[in-house]
Amino acid sequence: MLKLAIIGLTCTILLILILFRMSNNPTICETSDGSGTLLNGNSTLNDDIIMSEHLQVDAILHYATSRVIPQQTLDEIKISFNLIKSLTPCNLLVFGLGHDSFMWSSMNSRGTTFFLEEDPKWSRAILKDLSFIRSNTVRYRTTLYEAEKLIDHYNKEPDCWARKSILRGNSKCKLALNMLSKEVYDKEWDIIMIDGPKGYFDQAPGRMSAIYSAAVMARNRKGPGVTHVILHDVDRDVEKVYAELFLCRKNLVNGVGKLWHFEVPPASDMNTDFC
């Protein structure tokens, strides 16, 4: 039964990737000599589209020949799939490297997709065959064991409060990811997917900092529109409590299984609280 379930899910993922590739295919017209020519005359754009198609084909072949499956269920993947499809090319930041990383990259192949992973050994294992994936290793300052105490810390530490919330250089707030690369800080992320770091044993980093930092990035957005935050494993207490504290129930627009989708607007008044 398990083998059949894995085969079924893998086949469905392949179908999603194929449909995604078809839906993002550039318009082609026939020339007088019968050759297919892209309607858009921008050669740089056309090259990007061709590279995008190659990456999507590679992803299809990758999952067709792999025994591993992504961390999310099919219904959960559909939410992210539809969102990325509607926004691509976009800036996509993903907390956590995994067997689904190739899939997310291929869906946004003409945009910027960047991964943050806490385990160097795991990063090397994932990236050895996927060297094109862009990622950083993050050394978190938290452990899951501290989750409740960190809420007290947030309430007492002014540098954690919404009105002063910054990430870069913020050493006083333990929830702030102050060790990220310039590339992460300098971009405005259209989608932030939180499916890491690990959060299922006491000494794991937990996702407290990832959730808090995603909320700060969204509040500080200067460009138009909202920041979409996809949070996985909301069946766990820490993910649920921190999501309601920083991402806000009022911003929850969709959810299925263990996944929630938030649309977090930029702060119109920086003196307001997170929620």
In tens, the pLDDT along 95-148 reads 999 888 888 988 898 899 999 999 999 999 989 888 889 999 999 999 999 999
Residues 211 and 82 in one domain: yes
Residue 14: is its pLDDT beyond 90? no
Residue after which a domain boundary falls, among 37, 69, 101: 69
51 domain residue, yes or no: yes
Is the overall model pTM greater than 0.75, yes or no? yes
Q: Is 269 left (phi over 0), alpha (psi -120 to 50) or beta?
A: beta
Q: What is the pLDDT of residue 68?
A: 62
Residues 151 and 194 in one domain: yes
Q: What is the pLDDT of residue 29?
A: 34
Instruction: List the structure tokens of 92.
Output: 């996509």
Q: What is the pLDDT of residue 198?
A: 96
In tens, the pLDDT along 145-180 reads 999 999 999 999 999 999 888 999 999 999 999 999
Q: What is the pLDDT of residue 260?
A: 98
Q: CB 181: neighbour CB atoms within 10 A?
A: 11
Residue 230: is its pLDDT beyond 90? yes
- Terminal C-alpha separation, the chain: 44
Q: What is the pLDDT of residue 37?
A: 38
CATH classification at residue 89: 3.40.50
Instruction: List the structure tokens of 167.
Output: 């990430």
Residue after which a domain boundary falls, among 69, 93, 120: 69
Separation between Cα atoms, residue 58 and residue 110, nearest integer Å? 15
Residues 93 and 204 in one domain: yes
Separation between Cα atoms, residue 64 and residue 67, nearest integer Å? 8
Average the pLDDT over 224-253 and give the result: 97
269 domain residue, yes or no: no
* Mean pLDDT lowest among 24-28, 94-98, 220-224, 251-255: 24-28
Residues 43 and 79 in one domain: no
58 domain residue, yes or no: yes
Q: What is the pLDDT of residue 57?
A: 44
Q: Structural domain of residue 10, as residue ranges?
A: 1-69
More confident residue, 94 or 50: 94
239 domain residue, yes or no: yes
Q: What is the pLDDT of residue 130?
A: 82
Q: What is the pLDDT of residue 73?
A: 86
Report yes or no: 113 and 92 within 8 Å, Cβ to Cβ: yes
Instruction: List the structure tokens of 116.
Output: 């943050």
Residue 207: is its pLDDT beyond 50? yes
Instruction: List the structure tokens of 262.
Output: 């938030």
Residues 143 and 255 in one domain: yes
Separation between Cα atoms, residue 155 and residue 120, nearest integer Å? 32
More confident residue, 205 or 32: 205
The one-character DSSP state at 201 is S
Angstrom distances, CA of residue 264 to CA of 107, 115, 206, 226, 268: 22, 20, 22, 5, 12
The total number of structural domains that make up the chain: 2
273 domain residue, yes or no: no
Report yes or no: 138 and 176 within 8 Å, Cβ to Cβ: no
The one-character DSSP state at 65 is T
Separation between Cα atoms, residue 59 and residue 14, nearest integer Å? 9
Model confidence at 216, in pLDDT bands (50, 70, 90)?
very high
Model confidence at 69, in pLDDT bands (50, 70, 90)?
low
Residue at 140: amino acid letter? Y
Residues 124 and 24 in one domain: no
Residues 185 and 253 in one domain: yes
C-alpha dihedral (120, 187, 76, 201), degrees to nearest 10: 40
258 domain residue, yes or no: yes
Residues 153 and 220 in one domain: yes
Residues 63 and 92 in one domain: no
Residues 88 and 49 in one domain: no
Residue after which a domain boundary falls, among 69, 100, 115: 69
Residues 10 and 104 in one domain: no
Sign of CA dihedral 73, 74, 75, 77: positive
Angstrom distances, CA of residue 37 to CA of 26, 29, 120: 10, 6, 44
Question: Chain-wide mean pLDDT for the chain?
Answer: 82
Q: Where are any strands of DSSP class E within the chain? A: 28-30, 36-38, 91-95, 112-117, 134-137, 191-194, 227-232, 252-256, 259-264
Nearest 5°: phi and psi at 113? -120, 125
In tens, the pLDDT along 22-63 reads 555 543 333 334 443 344 445 544 444 444 445 444 444 444
Residue at 116: amino acid letter? L
Residues 132 and 14 in one domain: no
Average the pLDDT over 216-228 and give the result: 95
